[in-house]
């Protein structure tokens, strides 16, 4: 383990921690005062109560639920963490481990096959040694549509993946790439011709 090289460093930002924790504590104090105010209503003398009890109780319960949701959302801000990555420390391609990517689908009506195939093609176009990257599609429904789309996606990926690697496309998902402004039309005429062909 002495020769292990860290791929990233994790550190907290002290000013953000102080600000977030101060805000959370002040907010919690305000919530406790509000809860005390709501509860004090139920301990008043019945002759002093001018507001109907049921609406007050419903408001109190709904506020308690909102307080709980707020409390659960504070965990990420209690200690914000920032990471610095070092991609230059990655080992050579021949030392990288093989990885398997499983893409699961169950119903072609709820999960359109075209969207699933965009995910498959994006996974195939990852910047990883192709001989160490294995992509599997698991179709629980056994749909003929998914099977046909998988065959078409494989045929398209034979051209799309080399195109992505050749021009260093950041967006490897065909649907997102062709619907976004990442044209690359500033590139060479060869790129424009190949993009048009895609």
Q: Which residues pair with 100 in a beta bridge?
A: 134
> Is 140 annotated to bind ligand?
yes
Q: In this predicted model, what pLDDT tens digit does every residue of 37-60 receive, in sequence order?
A: 888 877 776 666 677 778 888 989
| pLDDT tens-place string over residues 154-183 | 999 999 988 888 888 888 888 888 887 655
pLDDT tens-digit series, residues 13-27: 889 889 999 999 999
Between 76 and 116, the higher pLDDT residue: 116
Comparing CA positions, the residue from 159, 161, 156, 166 lying closest to residue 187 is: 166
Looking at residue 1, its pLDDT comes to 46
Residues β-bridged to residue 67: none
**What token pair was written down for 122?**
């994006």
Cα→Cα distances 147→113, 121, 125, 161, Å: 9, 14, 20, 20
The predicted model scores a pTM of 0.58
Q: How confident is the model at residue 196 (pLDDT cuts 50, 70, 90)?
A: confident
Cβ–Cβ under 8 Å, residues 136 and 169? no
Q: Are 135 and 123 in contact (CB under 8 A)?
A: yes
Query: Which among 64, 73, 85, 89 has a CA at the least distance from the CA of 4?
Result: 89
């Amino acid at each position: 383990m002495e020769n292990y090289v860290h791929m990233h460093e994790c550190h907290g930002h002290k000013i953000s921690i102080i600000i977030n924790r101060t805000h959370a504590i002040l907010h919690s104090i305000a919530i406790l005062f509000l809860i005390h105010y709501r509860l004090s209503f139920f301990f008043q003398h019945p002759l002093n109560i001018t507001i109907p009890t049921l609406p007050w109780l419903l408001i109190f319960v709904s506020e308690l639920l909102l307080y709980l949701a707020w409390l659960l959302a504070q965990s990420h801000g209690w200690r914000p963490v920032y990471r610095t990555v070092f991609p230059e420390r990655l080992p050579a391609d021949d030392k990288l481990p093989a990885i398997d990517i499983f893409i699961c689908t169950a119903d072609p009506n709820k999960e359109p096959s075209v969207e699933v195939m965009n995910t498959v093609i994006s996974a195939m176009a990852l910047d990883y040694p192709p001989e160490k990257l294995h992509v599997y599609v698991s179709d629980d429904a056994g749909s003929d549509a998914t099977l046909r789309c998988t065959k078409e996606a494989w045929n398209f990926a034979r051209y799309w993946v080399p195109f992505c690697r050749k021009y260093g496309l950041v967006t490897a998902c065909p649907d997102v790439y062709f619907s976004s402004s990442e044209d690359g039309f500033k590139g060479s005429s060869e790129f424009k011709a190949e993009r048009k062909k895609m």
